[in-house]
Every structure is written in structure tokens, then in C-alpha cells.
């Protein structure tokens, strides 16, 4: 079960952006698994993709198409990643785009394809193409929740976030969905996420915003340390709000919008962690006192990825020596362990190179029994700090991934 409240929120419609979802039978029977998204003519887009060398065919095609023009439509299938499929996978992604372009009176290069699911299996093109007319027929500004369900794989619940802000007296909407609960570790974004806004934003600025936003949200979460072949994060700005001016760089409007966009992305990222495969804990790891952001992240992710730390979290075992050992192997040059301080929530467990004099097993146990835990680590070297979010490692995680294809 997810950690915390993942009730699907009210999703504010985005003018100029529509969504349609259907059941195409790609892999799952009797569930929605094919999504089409439509954007108004003149929309701008910002996008980032996986850095995995075995990137999926749709990722490669998205990158190519974005060099030609802004997209009019996105098409997403779940159940099959179309990754590790060689030249045929490229042809299959092209076929899907061509079919949707024909249905929507657009050009194939105006289509962005996305896939998620099992790696290495041929994409069932015929089923996807046959399902496209139904998805197109369902296009609506209110289709967010169906789409959030339609892009899930091992997720247990759909994930959405929506916000409205006022810029220069005009309402601007930011609404998005995401999927991901396993194979989650930063190397771009590690999931599929789609955010739409009715603001009008200059194209290069939007791309810069997306890169900054992903660095502080989706690139700060990890479930298992694995990076998917299909990771994609896309923000589309339709320009259909009543805000009369284009949002440009270094403006107060740009700063307002950027903050709101990051809040929506961070909410989606946190929901992915809360719904991590087999997760029973939502864990925040805060590292302070580092010489650089890179150093802080190295420490945080070393702790977050430690199987021993993660299994102790699952067992609610205050075995703090595992945290200490992970910090010690995080490749911090000349780490002075006498300056390191570690806390579980507000309980000091380590200081001056060893167990804190105020610490007791009972205090540690009280914190470890909680569903949400903050591990604070001060390494006493500088002023840089970073925060990442992760989960524990449970029996259910092993079972989900052991049985994924069966």
C-alpha cells in the first residue's frame, strides 16, 4: 500500500490541451493502456529524456521529432517498452506516429510517442493502431484521471497534481500526471511525466525551466537505483490562458511560473516514492555541511541505495551503524568522521565519530516505527546541502519484480 494519502486530486482543465484514453489490450486485459494527448497549434514544449544508452525507440523518435517542430499530439502505451527492439522497434514507433497523424490530420513529425512496460519484446503495433480511433474519440479537457490510470504499470494508484496561480491578474493553470514506482533512480527523470499549462512561454525558456525543475524533483528521488530505458518528462504550454504576454526569461512572471511548476513536479515525484514498489516507508534524506552539491548528493544517494539501510528501514530496525557505514563509503575525500552528525527525525544518533551520548535504542525505535522518517546527515565540511527521497526495501518489492513478466 502507498505511504500517506495518494487520493487523486482535483485536476484543473488546461485550455488548449485534451486527453483521450482507451483499452487497446497491449498487455493488460480489460484496463486502459493507450493514451492520446492533443495540444493546440502554436504550443511550445520542453522535454528531457533518459540517458540510458539503451534508450527506447520512442525516446529516439521523440528527440528526432522535436528537432523538426513542436508537437501536436503525444501517444503513450503501457505494457510494452519498445526498448531493446533494434531497427524493428524504430519502425514500429514510426508506424504508430504515422497512424495517429493520419487520424488527426497532422504530420508524423508532430507526434511524440512514448512506451512503458516490458523491455525487449516486439511492440504490438496492430493493437495500438486499432485502439487509436477510440482514444482520439475520447479527447477531452477533463481526461486526466483516465490517462493517469492508463499510463500505469506496477503503480498501485494514479498520480496527478494540479495548481492555479495568478500572474499579473490572470489565472494560469498547471496540471500533470506521472507514472513510476520501480526502476527509479536519477539519470534524467526515471519515469513518465506529462505536465500541461495554458501559459504562453518562449520555447527556449520552457526547455531551460524543465531542465531546472527535473534537477530538483524527479532527479532527487530513488526507489531502487535503476534507470529506465524509457524515462521522459514533457511540459507543454498551450498559450491559451488570458495572460496576454509571452512569459520570457528574467521576468517576475517567469519566476512565479517556475516556482509553481516545480511544486507540481515535486508533488508528482513524491507520489512516485510514496507508491514505490512494495514501499512501507517514505524516507527523506537531508545532507548538510557538504563542500558541494555533488558531494551532498553522493552521500545522500549512497545511503538511499544501501540495501542494508533499506532493509533495516523495512524492519523498523534502528540499526544506525548501517547508515554510518554507508556515509563512510560515499567517496568523500578526507572525511573527518569526528565532525559527522546523524539524526533520525529529531533524535541524535551519531556525533563526534560515534554513538551520541543522548541516544537510546528506545528513542531510535520510536522513530523507526513511523511511516515517514527523516534521516539528517551533517558532514561538517562546508555550506552545500541537498535532499533526496527514497523508500525501504521489502519482500513485496522482490516479489513484484520477480514476477513482473508472469
Residues annotated as part of the active site: 190
Rounded to the nearest 5 degrees, what angle is found at the Cα of 282, between the Cα atoms of 278 and 286? Answer: 135
Longest dimension (CA), the chain: 71
- DSSP letters, 126-155, are HHHHHHHHHHHHT-BTT-HHHHHHHT-SS-
Query: Cell numbers at residue 331, please?
Result: 567517496
SS3 assignment, position 316: coil
Label the pairing between strands 170-179 and 192-197.
Answer: antiparallel
Closest CA to 199 of 250, 240, 249, 144: 240
Q: How many Cβ atoms are within 10 Å of 360's Cβ, its own excluded?
A: 13
- How far apart, in whole angstroms, are the C-alpha atoms of residue 8 and residue 213? 22
In 3D space, the residue among 111, 173, 115 whose CA is nearest the CA of residue 136 turns out to be 111
Task: For the beta carbon of residue 339, count every other beta carbon within 10 angstroms.
Answer: 14
Is the CB of residue 285 less than 8 Å from the CB of residue 377? yes
Amino acid at each position: 500500500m502507498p505511504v500517506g494519502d495518494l487520493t487523486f486530486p482535483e485536476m484543473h482543465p488546461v485550455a488548449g490541451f485534451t486527453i483521450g484514453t482507451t483499452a487497446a489490450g497491449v498487455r493488460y486485459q480489460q484496463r486502459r493502456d493507450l493514451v492520446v494527448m492533443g495540444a493546440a497549434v502554436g504550443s511550445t514544449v520542453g522535454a528531457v529524456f533518459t540517458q540510458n544508452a539503451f534508450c527506447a525507440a520512442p525516446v529516439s523518435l521523440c528527440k528526432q521529432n522535436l528537432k523538426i517542430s513542436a508537437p501536436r499530439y503525444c501517444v503513450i502505451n503501457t505494457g510494452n517498452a519498445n526498448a531493446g527492439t533494434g531497427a524493428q522497434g524504430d519502425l514500429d514507433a514510426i508506424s504508430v506516429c504515422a497512424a495517429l497523424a493520419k487520424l488527426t490530420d497532422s504530420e508524423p513529425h508532430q507526434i511524440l510517442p512514448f512506451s512503458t512496460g516490458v523491455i525487449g519484446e516486439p511492440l504490438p503495433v496492430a493493437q495500438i493502431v486499432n485502439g487509436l480511433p477510440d482514444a482520439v474519440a475520447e479527447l477531452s479537457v477533463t481526461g486526466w484521471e483516465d490517462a493517469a490510470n492508463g499510463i500505469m504499470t506496477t503503480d498501485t494508484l494514479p498520480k496527478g497534481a494540479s495548481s492555479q496561480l495568478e500572474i499579473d491578474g490572470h489565472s494560469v493553470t498547471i496540471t500533470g500526471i506521472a507514472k513510476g514506482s520501480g526502476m527509479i533512480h536519477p539519470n534524467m527523470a526515471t519515469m513518465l511525466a506529462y505536465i500541461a499549462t495554458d501559459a504562453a512561454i518562449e520555447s527556449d525558456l520552457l526547455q531551460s525551466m524543465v531542465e531546472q525543475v527535473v534537477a530538483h524533483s524527479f532527479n532527487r528521488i530513488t526507489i531502487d537505483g535503476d534507470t529506465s530505458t524509457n524515462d521522459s518528462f514533457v511540459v507543454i504550454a498551450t498559450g491559451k490562458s488570458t495572460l496576454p504576454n509571452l512569459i520570457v526569461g528574467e521576468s517576475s512572471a517567469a519566476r512565479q511560473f517556475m516556482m509553481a511548476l516545480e511544486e507540481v513536479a515535486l508533488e508528482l515525484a513524491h507520489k512516485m516514492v510514496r507508491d514505490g514498489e512494495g514501499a512501507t516507508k517514505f524516507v527523506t534524506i537531508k545532507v548538510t555541511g557538504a563542500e558541494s552539491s555533488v558531494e551532498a548528493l553522493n552521500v545522500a544517494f549512497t545511503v538511499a541505495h544501501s540495501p542494508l539501510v533499506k532493509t533495516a528501514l523495512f524492519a523498523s530496525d534502528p540499526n544506525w551503524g548501517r547508515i554510518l557505514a554507508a556515509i563512510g563509503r560515499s567517496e568523500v575525500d578526507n572525511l573527518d568522521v569526528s565532525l559527522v552528525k546523524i539524526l533520525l527525525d529529531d533524535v541524535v544518533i551519531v556525533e563526534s565519530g560515534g554513538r551520541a551520548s543522548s541516544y537510546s535504542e528506545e528513542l531510535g525505535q520510536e522513530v523507526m516505527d513511523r511511516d515517514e522518517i527523516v534521516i539528517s546527515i551533517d558532514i561538517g565540511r562546508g555550506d552545500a546541502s541537498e535532499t533526496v527521497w527514497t523508500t525501504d526495501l521489502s519482500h513485496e518489492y522482490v516479489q513484484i519484480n520477480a514476477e513482473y513478466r508472469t
